[in-house]
Amino acid sequence: MADIHTLPLRSLLFCPGSNADRMGKAMASGADAVILDLEDSVDPAAKAEARALVAEALAAPRALPVAVRVNAADTAWHLADLAMAVRGGADAIMLPKCGGRPDLAQLSDRIDALEAGFDRPAGRIAILPLVTESALALLDMDYRAATPRLAALCFAGEDLASDLGVMARASGQMNPLLAHARRQVAIAAAAAGVRAIDTPFPDPRAASGLELETREALALGFAGKLCIHPAQIATVHATLRPAPERVEWGRAVIAALEGAANGVAVVDGKMVDIAHLRLAHRYVQMAALSEGTA
Strands (E), 137-239: 152-154, 169-170, 173-174, 195-198, 224-227
HSE-CB for 154 with a 13 A CA cutoff: 31
Backbone angles phi, psi at 91, to 5 degrees: -80, -25
Backbone angles phi, psi at 183, to 5 degrees: -65, -35
3-state secondary structure of 217: helix
Contact 146, 153 (CB under 8 A): no
Alpha-carbon separation of residue 100 from 71, 78, 95, 138, 161 (angstroms): 16, 17, 11, 9, 19
| Residue (of 105, 104, 85) closest to 37 by Cα position | 85
133 marked ligand binding residue: yes
Distance separating alpha carbons of residues 178 and 194, to the nearest angstrom: 21
159 marked ligand binding residue: yes
Alpha-carbon separation of residue 221 from 179, 189, 277, 282, 289 (angstroms): 14, 10, 15, 10, 17
Strands (E), 62-133: 66-69, 92-95, 126-129
Distance separating alpha carbons of residues 33 and 42, to the nearest angstrom: 20
Distance separating alpha carbons of residues 116 and 239, to the nearest angstrom: 41
Helix (H) or strand (E) holding 210: helix 207-219
Residue numbers in the known binding site for substrate are 69, 133
Extract the annotated binding site for Mg(2+).
133, 159
Binding site members:
69, 133, 159
